[in-house]
Structure 1
Amino acid sequence: MQPTVGRIVHYVARGSADGKFPKKCRAAIVTEVDDPNGANADLNRVGLMVANPTGLFFHPIADGGGCHQGPRCQDIDHPTAGGTWHWPERV
């Protein structure tokens, strides 16, 4: 599947460094994707609007976006690492 604007994904919140707030999956909507024809297109990095219990969090591509497992996300060692997005699990 390829992310497109309006698709629902899960964003894994990073949590706090002190562990008080653990990483946690949150519902998110894709708000922007890279131009697939661009020279440095990264279709695994998207802009997100993340729904938290206390409000919305906007995570635009310009500020790093949300990263899915892919060639430009080599520092991510697990698909549900904090700061990443993934497709919702089927239940």
Structure 2
Amino acid sequence: MDPQAPSVGRIVRYVSHGTPPREDGSQAHPSKTRAAVITEVHGPTEVGLAVFNPSGFFFDQHVMQDETGTAPGTWHWPAWVMAA
């Protein structure tokens, strides 16, 4: 399968930063994966996003792709879900 190319309007997943780590390494609010829509494309792995949270939404520019889905402040494609 060919890799997907980002384009305006596509749905992706965004990994939030969470709150800064405490001295013991814990976080008050850990990183979470959120739904996002691509609002601009800067290159094959860099986009602008409208990120949707339960309490509202925010815009972020120049967000880099990370297909591991683990790096805070990055985006990745949703997993493919096959119909049963």
| Structure (1/2) with the larger strand percentage | 2
Asked whether the equivalents of residues 12 and 35 of structure 2 are also in contact (C-alpha less than 8 Å), the reply is yes
Q: Normalized against structure 2, the TM-score is what? A: 0.78
Q: Normalized against structure 1, the TM-score is what? A: 0.73
Q: Give the paired residue count.
A: 73
| Displacement of 1:79 | 4.0
Distance in 1, matches of 2:52 and 2:75, equals 13
Name the larger-Rg structure. Answer: 2
Q: Does 1:53 align with 2:36?
A: no
What residue is the counterpart of 2:28 in the other structure? 20
Structure 2 alignment gaps of length 5 or more: 22-26
| Displacement of 1:90 | 2.5
| Displacement of 1:69 | 3.5
Q: Give the root-mean-square deviation of aligned CA atoms.
A: 1.6
Q: Paired residue for 1:10, among 5, 8, 13?
A: 13
- Could you list the structure 1 runs, at least 4 aligned residues long, displaced by more than 3 angstroms after superposition: none
Q: Does 1:90 align with 2:80?
A: yes
Q: How does 1:57-72 map to 2 (within 5 A)?
A: 57-60=58-61, 65-69=62-66
Structure 1 alignment gaps of length 5 or more: 35-41, 71-77
Deviations 1:18-66 (A, max 9, x none): 31110010000000002xxxxxxx3211000000111011002xxxx21
